[in-house]
Structure 1
């Protein structure tokens, strides 16, 4: 089972007078990865090398380093550590000593790897969205039980009779959650499957 990061991570290292800073974050799409890369890249540094992976999609960039010495090693580290939906940017300030192609691969890959090793992780849980309407008389009970069912509330819209919910539940637990909601409310709640979504959101 693949993992992703629970939040951002940072690691800094000096290698032969060059300063390397690795920053990592969970991302769910190319747009999120691009936004993170743009946010943390230092315009004063010549090399902001990066890689990201989100499901079957991935990209990497050497940022003026010799081809294959920066972006690809970062991507290989992401994959080697069993991570998905992750972006990593490694920024380098040149210290006057050339590292050579092998040295660059080790520096970029090693800095990214250490950053990811230090990061907190969580298992990626594939979820399915359920929709249901909850009468006012059951709101307190259902609201208290949803977290224990592993359900994440995606939306909650009130009307004259109660609230319309959309919740994301682990795919493996869909049938149980639907049954529990019906049992809790003596059949007043009938949940319907909407679609499958990716990740922990």
Structure 2
């Protein structure tokens, strides 16, 4: 996956994408992948995340029997009074959004309920949905370029969670388990095994 330039604008649609309106319904034979940005309006971040997913999907398209459609929608963060209720509320919202596979992106911090408590990079929302939290990425990154590089890898991991992929044992793979921010810096690729797992998951997401 190529380096993400924070100055880049949105790329033109690549061959795997149908000309459907963002967030709209697609043909029945099209696999719909939806990025849901919850109050994330920073253009460099939305571009970096979209480009990272586009690059992965483009590399997988020739191995899939059906076309893929990537769409983006924007939502407000839900009003959540108690941190322990954040997961449940985001789960509810994600499950109500149309799409074969859905990945939410939010600035809201998501705490691990298992002591010692710490903020998580992403969570599995079940039913082919996941949620990426920018909170810890921002805390642990020293500049915009580093933040965007890590988010480009983090969104692939969140996509893998939504597809039901397990943590990878290859420390160079984006799908490995991340104990801390430095683990993202050693990720350089999606390994062959995880690529095959992505293809298998995308062939039968239901």
TM-score by length of 2: 0.29
| Largest Rg, 1 or 2 | 1
Specify which structure has the higher proportion of helix.
2
**TM-score between the two structures when normalised by the length of structure 1:** 0.30
Say which structure is richer in strand: 1
